[in-house]
Amino acid sequence: MAFDVQTVSDRLQGRAVLWMEETDSTMNDAARLAAMGALSGTVVGAERQTAGQGRLGRNWHSESGLGLYPSLILRVSLPPDHLPIATMALGLAAAEAITSTTGVAVDLRWPNDVLVGDRKVCGILVQQHHDALICGIGINVNQVAFPDELAPIATSLRIAAGREFPREALFIELMQSIDRHIEILLNQGKEPILKLFTQASSYVTGRRVVVEQGEVLLRGTTAGLDDSGFLVLQEDDGKRTLILAGGVRPA
């Protein structure tokens, strides 16, 4: 069903919600709008993306009318070292919105993938453009299947729950949940977000993982988050390594 942008705008008073049938990537649209001075909270979505962007230069599969592919402009004044925590706050917000709207239980994989079991249902990409953060959130909502290369690692809320979900309620809750989590970060600092993430994610402590660091694969057990939100890895050879970026997967 077509996304009912009017209902969504009415419920999200004071926020500009722009919706398109097709775009290359809403990240690009939001960055352009930010450069033109769009207000914090402005969000742009599309029914399909022809060049959806994922983390680490990957593509984000954006099938028409079945997922949510919004990018949100946030103008928040955060010290540069709070940026990884802001992305974790977005992951927490997405996880909370998904579970409260659909009842589907989710996990968080550092830094901000939302999983059902060990399959990804939502991914988040944050880019800084001058004084604005462009926050792209991709949620697999009503897909019934994925291309072969994604099938073993991706899922949708429909596959997980065995029923379809209206995207509007989830989108409204997502925006409200992001507002709440960013407020926590702005008003109370990093600690509550680090604590919430540690509680919500099975990946932060005691998890056997493989971490891709460019060409190198590190193997070990996760040992918590440092003050900046980076993942501590106790490597099998005894070294403790701080993971700043990169793909983390179960060993």
Which residue ranges make up the site for ligand BTN (CB under 6 A)?
25-27, 49, 52-55, 58, 60, 69-71, 113, 123-125, 136-138
Q: How far is the CB of 199 from ligand BTN (least distance, A)?
A: 22
| DSSP codes of every residue in 179-192 | HHHHHHHHHH-HHH
Q: How far is the CB of 188 from ligand BTN (least distance, A)?
A: 26
CA 51-40-193 angle, 5° bins: 85
234: enclosing H helix or E strand: strand 231-235
Nearer to ligand BTN, 174 or 233 (CB): 174
Cβ-proximal residue to ligand BTN, closest one: 123
Nearer to ligand BTN, 63 or 113 (CB): 113
Nearer to ligand BTN, 52 or 84 (CB): 52
Nearer to ligand BTN, 111 or 220 (CB): 111
Q: Which residue has the tokens 């969504």?
A: 8
Tokens of 127: 């880019």
Q: How far is the CB of 49 from ligand BTN (least distance, A)?
A: 5
Q: How far is the CB of 34 from ligand BTN (least distance, A)?
A: 14
Nearer to ligand BTN, 192 or 247 (CB): 247
Helix, strand, coil percentages in the chain from 3-state DSSP, rounded to 5: 30, 35, 35
Question: Is residue 164 a contact partner of residue 56, using CB atoms and an 8 Å limit?
Answer: no
Q: How far is the CB of 1 from ligand BTN (least distance, A)?
A: 19
| DSSP codes of every residue in 141-165 | -S-S---TTTTTTB--HHHHHTS--
